Amino acid sequence: MGPSPPGPSARGVELRPKLRGFEFWRRTLGAARHVVAPMVDQSELAWRLLSRRHGAQLCYSPMLHAQVFVRDANYRRENLYCEVCPEDRPLIVQFCANDPEVFVQAALLAQDYCDAIDLNLGCPQMIAKRGHYGAFLQEEWGLLQRMKIDKTVRYAQMLEKAGCQLLTVHGRTKEQKGPLAGVASWEHIKAVRKAVSIPVFANGNIRSLQDVERCIQDTGVQGVMSAEGLLHNPALFEGRSPAVWELAEEYLDIVQQHRCPLSFVRAHLFKLWHHTLQVHQQLREELAKVKTLEGLAAVSQALKLRCQEDMRGQEEGAGPAGDLPFFHWICQPSLRPGPREHSSGRSKRALEEEASPVESLSKNKQKKQLRNPRKTFDPSLKPKYAKCDQCGNPKGNRCVFNLCRGCCKKRAFRETADCPGHGLLFKTKLEKSLAWKGVQPGLQEPPQAGPGAAGGCSPVGSALA
């Protein structure tokens, strides 16, 4: 990752030298120590501006797909070009890519709108595996079940040698996600920092400003990146834990000026009000259903009023409920449950099934069942279909060839045959065509068109082809 030099002007102005390593970090990125992580659908312009108001010194864009960015002008405009704002600098644009040429093209298209370009080598999600990017690019260098420290160090050194000017280390393997996230390894981060001569950012285990300072001290990194912690408390880098409604209202005001999809705003409010929604669950449903920005603001205001009622009704000397460090109306991190004992390497779905012995439906299936109450997802109740002899798709029950419609159509066309089951009447139509021409089928061939003929038999020729 590094800044892209400005392109030469029409007058042939000489290119400025490219800043590297620590000089790039100090002069281009302003020696940033507090960094907002790239978050898909979550680190949009409005959220970045809110974070900068509360101590963030550097922000990343959401991850963009390099290939789509290169080919789709609307994608470029909606995700970067229309989000230009003088207050939103320094800014690093992150791409996922697995083709060097496409990555360079995307970087050239983005270079005038940011201060540096980042290549995602850390996304562990299934979509990254299917697209072969993010953490799964590590497989090109060696597939590992658990990356040892020495292997991690050599991986970082290889990236530095390839031209990387700043490196962010997440301190987790690609298997550590969701319920299996666990604790990030600062030992790995520290080892990488000692082994490379470029600036390093650390990410993982950051829930407060004290964690930020301790991470810098323990690992020696130049800066600390936060994602989950900032989503619950955008004032984390200020060392404050304000009332949730204070930041929720400020964010909604910014969204009025810098619009973004409603789903982004809803997701941010769910994070900010996370602990309060555990108490006032009826408003959780309201927050999920409203379909306008005004509606979201109204639900946020209702949550504020409920919190203020809870504050007035709080008994003197009482502490927060459960294991929370503060009352639910105060911005604070949400602690993920750790991996279950003996569950290492098990999938999220397996953990969910274990946590809920009674068979339950996914949210998507529940929505389908609401639309159609008679719909069932029991595999044993699904109708059994006989398979096509050629392709394996369900065959037609009345097909004369025991094929699916696609295969049946090809065969019937080739053999000039009929299949009433699929409504294919190639033979019947040919016979009717010949009869219309006054020729009895099977007794003589249709006349051949001469050089000067008008070509009146072309439909027949087409049917026989």
DSSP state, residue 191: H
> Which residue type sits at 56?
A
Active site residue 215: no
Compute the distance between CA of residue 145 and CA of residue 173 in angstroms, rounded to an integer.
9
Cα–Cα distances (Å) from 236 to 62, 232, 367, 378, in that order, read: 20, 9, 36, 46
Which residues are 118's β-sheet partners?
Answer: 94
Show Cβ contacts of residue 298 under 8 Å, excluding neighbours closer than 6 positions. 290
Compute the distance between CA of residue 57 and CA of residue 409 in angstroms, rounded to an integer.
64
DSSP string, 298-358: HHHHHHHHHHHHHHHTPPTT---STT-SS-TTB----PPPPPPTT-TT--HHHHHHHH--S
Question: To 10 degrees, the CA torsion angle through 295, 331, 221, 57?
Answer: 50
DSSP state, residue 116: E
- 123, 260, 404, 419: the active-site residue: 123
Distance, C-alpha 59 to centroid of its chain: 18
* 391-407 exposure pattern, b = at least 16 Cβ within 10 A, e = fewer: eeeebbeebbbbbbbeb
Catalytic residues: 123
